[in-house]
Chains A and B, each alone.
Chain A
Amino acid sequence: EAGVVQSPRYKIIEKKQPVAFWCNPISGHNTLYWYRQNLGQGPELLIRYENEEAVDDSQLPKDRFSAERLKGVDSTLKIQPAELGDSAVYLCASSSLTIQGTEAFFGQGTRLTVV
């Protein structure tokens, strides 16, 4: 079974440009997360979806970040415009909604460099 798939793996853009990341979670996983990981730090949650609903987006910088999860499956995270401080690894993860103690599975991440 395929794991969590993210694309692209790497992205280099100039500041003020837009960028989008895509995530395909594990089939049947209702919960989808987007995390951001800065160098030398642990991942920090940006947004969490339960099916199509964004149930926790309190740490998403809404002035420039947006996300969507159409039909409760794939998700897209967008930054517009990007700033130098947005350089980080963006990780997508999924887990089952119905059981609170279930394991989370992460994708390979998208490494964003803003120059």
Chain B
Amino acid sequence: KQEVTQIPAALSVPEGENLVLNCSFTDSAIYNLQWFRQDPGKGLTSLLLIQSSQREQTSGRLNASLDKSSGRSTLYIAASQPGDSATYLCAVKRVRAGNQFYFGTGTSLTVIP
């Protein structure tokens, strides 16, 4: 079974700070890893998708890296803004489980103005 862990569970930073969110998974046989953002009471918004053959993906102030062999991914957010406050979830699509996604429990981010 795939275990996905996200550390820290919660993070509070002042506006403008750069930050890193961590995601680890136990089964390295994955198709891809996807980072999502979830605002309170809302669904999941896809931020970045990293294929298993890729090392990183970038979108604006976001950069996600993937080290499949060690079962780790990081989401780097540059120059954080209050609007970045949300819960960030990572999910892996496991080769041995067809098209199923396995989620971590998320990191709740608060950016203080």
Interface size class of A (residues with CB under 8 A): 20 to 34
A31 nearest CB across to chain B (Å): 5
For this complex, into which size category does the number of interface residues on chain B fall? 20 to 34
Residue B32 interfacial (CB < 8 Å): yes
Residues of B contacting A: mostly: strand
A97 touches B103 (CB 8 A): no
Which of A42-50, A61-69, A75-83 is found at the contact surface with chain B? A42-50
B100 within 8 A of A: yes
Beta-carbon contact of B42 and A104 below 8 Å: no
The residue of chain B having its C-beta at the shortest distance from the C-beta of A108 within the complex is: B43
Contact of A40 (CB < 8 Å), options: B49, B101, B103, B105:
B105
How many whole Å from B57's CB to the nearest CB in chain A?
11
- Name which of B11-19, B63-71, B78-86, B91-99 contacts chain A: B91-99
- One of A91, A101, A111 near B31 (C-beta < 8 A): A101
Residues of A contacting B: mostly: strand
Docked Cα-Cα span, A33 to B45, in Å, equals 15
CA distance A106 to B95 in the complex (A): 21
Which of A55, A91, A107 interacts with B98 by CB under 8 Å? A55
Interface of chain A residues 33 through 58 with chain B (CB within 8 A)? 33, 35, 40-45, 48, 50, 55-56
Please measure, in the bound complex, the distance between the C-alpha atom of A80 and the C-alpha atom of B89, giving whole angstroms: 30
Residue numbers in B under 8 Å from A33 (CB-CB): 100-101
Given contacts A31-B99, A42-B4, contact A109 B42 (CB under 8 A): yes
Give 13 A-B pairs besides A4-B43, A42-B91, A43-B89 with Cβ atoms closer than 8 angstroms. Answer: A42-B89, A45-B101, A48-B100, A91-B43, A101-B32, A101-B52, A101-B93, A103-B32, A104-B93, A105-B46, A106-B45, A109-B43, A111-B41
- In the A-B complex, list the 3 residue pairs whose CB atoms are closest, starting with the nearest: A42-B103, A106-B44, A108-B43
**Could you show 12 A-B contacts with beta carbons less than 8 Å apart?**
A35-B103, A42-B105, A43-B101, A45-B100, A48-B99, A48-B100, A56-B98, A93-B101, A97-B99, A101-B51, A104-B91, A106-B44
